[in-house]
Amino acid sequence: MTLLAGDDFFASRAMTVTVEPRAPQPPFPEHHHDFYEIVLVESGAGVHVFNDRPYTLCSGTVCFVRDRDHHLFENVEGLYLTNVLYRAPQAFRFLTGIDRFLPPDDGQGQVHWHIGQEALQEARQHIRTLAQLAEDHSDEGVAASESRFLQLLLLLHRSCCQLESNRGRDANVLALSLRATSPAVGVEVLSAFLDAPASDDPSDRRSIEAVE
């Protein structure tokens, strides 16, 4: 398995954050790295095999990759994404305690999330600034970069948690509604769903084809 080393991506060892756009992202074999990474999908579709488990990618997908994880990309179709690379949380020079805004580091927590288009646009702005700061090796530059990274991390944390909370609320409402549904109505709803034609929406088709 290929090891990607931070020295090949960070402008210097003084830097703690850098940006690597993939426009587009081609199929990429299994690998791991000695740094951490946030993968943000801008557009397109593909399959992300993360620690031997496949996940479907689409616009707004966010994945947190740790230095001990291994992953690959396959079945890509117009997949555009941005990788925000960063040193281990304890290696930051001006920030401490960012672990609380990252997925649990227990190997059991969710690492693939999804954010809405508004949050995606805001994330792009933070990433553009991070890319500009990635060449500034001064203490002021590194401090500014880490500060902007924290803003990005807070945005993703809030967006991912809010969407997950909304999904949980909607699921609870659906579950309560289904409890009051008679068997006859349930059969009618299920039959209507199964008889409906497949979606022609391009994003839906890409997601289905990526899974197939």
Q: How far apart are CA 168 and CA 175, in angstroms?
A: 10
> What is the phi/psi pair of residue 28, to 5°?
-135, 130
> What is the phi/psi pair of residue 23, to 5°?
-135, 85
CA angle 104, 108, 109 (to 5 degrees): 45
CA angle 66, 157, 208 (to 5 degrees): 75
By DSSP bridging, strand 2-4 and strand 53-57 are unpaired
What is the predicted pLDDT for the residue at 180?
A: 47
Interval 154-163: pLDDT, tens = 999 998 865 4
Give the total residue count for the chain.
212
Interval 59-102: pLDDT, tens = 999 999 999 999 999 999 999 999 999 999 999 999 999 988 88
Q: What predicted TM-score, i.e. pTM, was given to this entire model? A: 0.76
Please tell me what DSSP assigns to residue 122.
H
The chain-wide mean pLDDT, for the chain, equals 83
144 vs 172, residue with greater confidence: 144
Interval 5-19: pLDDT, tens = 999 999 999 999 999
What is the predicted pLDDT for the residue at 209?
A: 63
Q: How far apart are CA 193 and CA 187, in angstroms?
A: 10
- Picking from 38, 6, 165, the residue whose alpha carbon sits closest to that of residue 111 is 38
Cα within 13 Å of Cα(87), Cβ side: 19
Query: Is the pLDDT assigned to residue 174 strictly greater than 50?
Result: no
